[in-house]
Structure 1
Amino acid sequence: MSDASLQSTTDYEASMGDYFALLKPRVMSLVVFTALVGLLVSPVPVHPFIGFVAILCIAVGAGASGALNMWWDADIDAVMKRTAKRPIPDGRVQPGEALAIGMALSGFSVVLLALATNWLAAGLLAFTIFFYAVVYSMWLKRATPQNIVIGGAAGAFPPMIGWAVATGGIGIESVLMFALIFMWTPPHFWALALFMKSDYGDAGVPMLNVTHGTRTTRNHVLGYALLLVPVALGLGLTSVGGPLYMATAVAMNAWFLKGCYDIWKRDTDAADADNFAVEKNTFKISLYYLFAHFLALLAEAILKTQGLGGW
């Protein structure tokens, strides 16, 4: 990537909003929510102030990852319609600024988390930032159609970090929360990729639908959705689960699986005919899916404080 090729020809002065956009706030909100749930459902109570500092560090770390990703991917972001208005390709923030912000926030978030909580949580946060910025962004994304499968681990670590903040360790519950997000990521992103194919193809990103075609992608969407079901239900059988979570998991998995099945049974002609209506709808369902599962875990934790939740 050439910084010079991305320099703005104007003297635009970046605003706070431009710098905040570098942090990918929508992604950050999901990270914060899942990390918070991981912290609150753990069996060890955390002082509210320590919990606040921990979640702040995780949010800042997620923002650092976003800034580093935007710095590295600025060349392909400029090609894709979905990302062309991001701060760097749009000329509102210079690449060097994004790199400096990403590095500074990375160091700040990891060190503060270590001082406020424990080194395991800080180590997991550091590894998450490294995995997203280096392993996924710099290597996997442009190297293999399995980019989103392996790279999905970066987005799956936050609840495990939250759990580690509280407990100082790793439990089957945090592993399954990690696995839930990890297995959810491929069908979620491939549903998006099916109706954004031209964007990825133009940018030279080897998404599965670009390299292996839509039929293979549709097969993978359904396959991963099927593998996701036992993970979601298995989480409900652990100490953080309960009847409310299990009911939510059964309903949401049935809904999401139906959407993925509808994607699988279609062909390109049918998708073109209705402008990928099924794919777009299933992508929306996938957003509700993850939120509902973690909200149900949080509700179970609240009910347990009243002697009502859990098995």
Structure 2
Amino acid sequence: MINAGNIRSSGVELHLNAMAVKSRDFSWEIDVNVDKNRSKVIELADNLKAYRLDNIGATYGNQGAQSSPFAGVPIFGGSGLTLVAREGSDWGVIVGKKIRTYQALDAAGNKIDSPSNGKRMVGPDGFYLYDAGQDIASVLPDFKGGVFNTFKYKAFTLKVMFDFVVGGKFYSTTRMFNAGSGLSEQTAGLNDRGKPKRDDPSTGGGVRLDDAVKADGSPNDIYVDAQTLYETKLFDLNEYWTYDKTYVKMREINLGYSLPGLLLRKTPFKTASIAFLVRNPFLIYSKVGGGVDPSETSSMWGEGGQLPPVRSYGVNLKFSF
């Protein structure tokens, strides 16, 4: 057994509790907790420059990350996605196939400015160019937190709690399989020429990757077969299925009522209340959009085919003697 390395974590946490409004019949109390934390890999064990986090015991040499299984996600197309801790980088870097981007060069090979710089590139066939074993993104969020509100009006109490995450990336197998099987909305409909995407490109159909440029930096004008694109070329193109994890999730709503003392006068109870509650009622906001709930991923960095999130309901009765 060895010490895996030296990881430095630093951050700040803010906790605020306040009575925002208070009157004779109504009050609003708010409790906010926000934290920001970064973990940086300072040094790993001898002879290691990177360490695979998704499979304990597997390591990488000085050449960097190799193909490997992604925790909770099977290997697709004979290659894999992995999570790595690398010296000098944030803990938790997603490594895999990354789409190549354009950089204009002068005759001497020096970088020069161009409006096409940074845009994705396609090859002569109109499909994305990519490189394997590349750093895609960090899984660490910019910050996260939660807000708990308590509203009281006479004998009624309403408690509302939600949490949020801003930043950080995750990998979605659900999105990839939906597109690869032709079930997602993006695989059907009309293209930018007003023709069905699934028609043959030679008759006006097909898909044009309009966020990309060709090798000379000119806008991509090549239309490709939709089935080939989603079933083969994009399937397992890891960066394409890596998304921002930013979300706001309603975690609990609780509505309660305290029975008046007159109703309890002839009972053994001093107080009694009833509350109706629902947990995980809905997702308020998700940057990734519909079809995937980033608050319910199987790990902090990916989901391997997501089941619908569970919403639960309950009734709470309280009595005091």
User: Does the alignment reach a TM-score above 0.5?
Assistant: no
The TM-score normalised by the length of structure 1 is 0.26
Greater fraction strand: 2
Taking structure 2 as the reference length, the TM-score comes to 0.26
Greater percentage in helix: 1
Q: Which has the higher contact order (CA 8 A, sep 6+)?
A: 1
